[in-house]
Amino acid sequence: MPVYCYSNGYQVVEQVFSIGNAPKVIELDGVEFRRDFGSEHVGVPASQGWPMECIASGVHASQAGELRKHFSDRGVPTDVSRDGNPVYRDAAHRRKALKARGLVDRSSFL
């Protein structure tokens, strides 16, 4: 079940409700809390998680050198680990490197 955030202006609390059943206002210990949509949509900053070693787009360890050359030939220099996994510096670099290989991550929203 999803978690919904409520605020009274000083404090934010989380409550669990089934989808479509979250009230706009709740009362806890006699204090009224209103739904706080801003708190619900806080995400991880884009700067976190980089550089990223991607196992999903990696190759066999014996092909690591070939992958490095492939990236370099396509104008997207990319580090490749000994295990054959590309190391992306940021989201834009990842997008370019995947495109250079003809790959698309349909779940990445990039």
The answer to whether residues 35 and 2 touch, using CB atoms and an 8 Å cutoff, is no
β-strand pairing of 25-28 with 31-35: antiparallel
Predicted confidence (pLDDT) at residue 109 exceeds the cutoff of 90:
no
β-strand pairing of 86-88 with 79-80: antiparallel
| Model pLDDT for residues 23-54, shown as the tens digit of each residue | 999 999 999 999 998 888 766 566 677 899 99
DSSP class per residue in 5-60? EEE-SS-EEEEE--TT---SEEEETTEEEEE-HHHHT----TTTT-SEE-STT---
| Model pLDDT for residues 48-103, shown as the tens digit of each residue | 778 999 998 999 999 999 999 999 999 999 999 999 999 999 888 999 999 999 99
Average pLDDT, the chain: 89
Predicted confidence at residue 110, as pLDDT, reads 47
Residue 70's CB: how many other CB atoms inside 10 A? Answer: 18
Task: For the chain, give every domain's residue range.
Answer: 3-40, 52-100
